[in-house]
Amino acid sequence: MSPPLTPARRDALSREILRLKADLNAVILAHNYQVPEIQDLADVVGDSLGLSQQAAGTSADVIVFCGVHFMAETAKILNPEKVVVLPDKAAGCSLEESCPADELRAFQAAHPGIYTISYINCSAEVKALSDVICTSGNAVRIVQAAPVDRELLFVPDENLGAWVREQTGRPMTLWPGNCYVHVEFTQGALARLRHRFPDAPVVAHPECTQPVRVLADEVCSTEKMVTYCRQSPAQRFIIATEIGMLHRLQKECPGKTFMPAVTDSLPAPTDRCRCSECKFMKLNTLEKLRDCMARLAPQIHLDDPILKRARLPIDRMLEISAPARAPVSR
Ligand code: 13P
Ligand code: SF4
């Protein structure tokens, strides 16, 4: 087991990571759900869309991806010639697990001509079976741009898919998958929190269920949460997404207060609710980040045909969402 992260150890590890970064000509990309110490030394912290855009445009030789496996895979698909490493290869995603490529292939074979829109939280193999990729930040736009004469299939998040269907009015078949973290938030717990803090807008991720989304003042991607909270005159907010988001929000909006949404079992916002912690995102630590840079392992490797085929729907997504705002670079 690694020693506890004392301030001195955190400083020493951070220095080592920054030295390795310079030696390798690397860029460190971190998702908004990463632990604070990783967010604080990353070059870019953002949502899936912003990080894909950054990966597509980087001139670094090595991409160090602090997030989950499908995010690092996306960076590799966009940069087949570069080395892409991640702190822990076991950092998966319940959405990715819910849509095995074989099952999607079988569904498509039974529904010839169906247009497949895949949420970026899926494997490279599923991406290779898709017509277009989307993230929570551009899903509405991507579905609006889908051909009007085709039947639409949305995989693998039924909650994001249902929200996009409401926003666009486009009928879509939804794959039965969900995020095990976001479905824990309940309408009852959120209603009690709202009642207690009536001045605090509720900001929810579209991976939450519909009964939770209807109580929200804003439903958006993690990056758009930053913009919303920064621009809002409100001084405190209830945040229904993974707990790591609160660190980013607190940094971007100093002086404002952010309360995590809780589940039915924990009625008070001061009770830390571990059910809003993504066990996959939290596999990454500063030690593992240092190690993956020192060893250049684990690395993402993908077969050439998958790499080439998976790139097409990602490029389509990037084209459609070209003017979208990139995350904050440091
Ligand atoms: P964002 O793209 O909104 O950051 O979402 C990624 C994710 O995994 C949400 O659970
Ligand atoms: Fe996947 Fe949910 Fe974790 Fe996001 S929070 S990476 S959707 S399991």
In the chain, alpha helices (H):
7-24, 36-41, 48-57, 69-78, 94-97, 101-110, 124-128, 139-144, 158-168, 187-196, 210-213, 222-231, 245-252, 286-295, 304-320
In 3D space, the residue among 132, 179, 184 whose CA is nearest the CA of residue 154 turns out to be 132
Tokens of 172: 């879509």
Burial group, residue 173, by CB count within 10 angstroms (0-12, 13-18, 19+): middle
Report the nearest-CA residue for atom 3 of ligand 1.
221
How long is the chain? 330
Nearest to 67 by CA among 53, 52, 77, 80: 52
- 200 CB-near residues (< 8 Å, 6+ apart): 193, 194, 234, 236, 237, 238, 259
Note the pLDDT of residue 330: 45
Q: Which atom of ligand 2 is nearest to the CA of 70?
A: 6
What residue owns the CA closest to ligand 1's atom 4? 47
Ligand lying nearest the CA atom of residue 280: 2
Report pLDDT for 114: 98
- Work out whether strand 236-240 and strand 202-204 pair parallel, antiparallel, or are unpaired: parallel
Q: What is the mean pLDDT of each run of 10 residues along the chain (330 residues)?
A: 83 97 98 98 94 91 97 96 97 98 98 98 98 97 97 98 98 98 93 95 98 98 97 98 97 96 62 74 98 98 98 96 58
Does 139 sit in the ligand 2 pocket, CB within 6 Å? Answer: no
User: Which ligand is nearest the CA of 223, by number?
Assistant: 1
Look at residue 18 in the predicted model and tell me its pLDDT: 98
Residue-range domains of the chain with CATH: 7-92+282-300 (3.40.50.10800), 95-174 (3.40.50.10800), 182-277 (3.40.50.10800)
Q: How far apart are CA 163 and CA 169, in angstroms?
A: 10
Per-residue confidence (pLDDT) for residue 69, from 0 to 100 = 97
| Closest-lying ligand 1 atom to the alpha carbon of residue 221 | 3
Q: Give the C-alpha distances (Å, rounded to integers) separating 202 from 216, 226, 233.
A: 5, 13, 13
Nearest CA to ligand 1 atom 8: 121
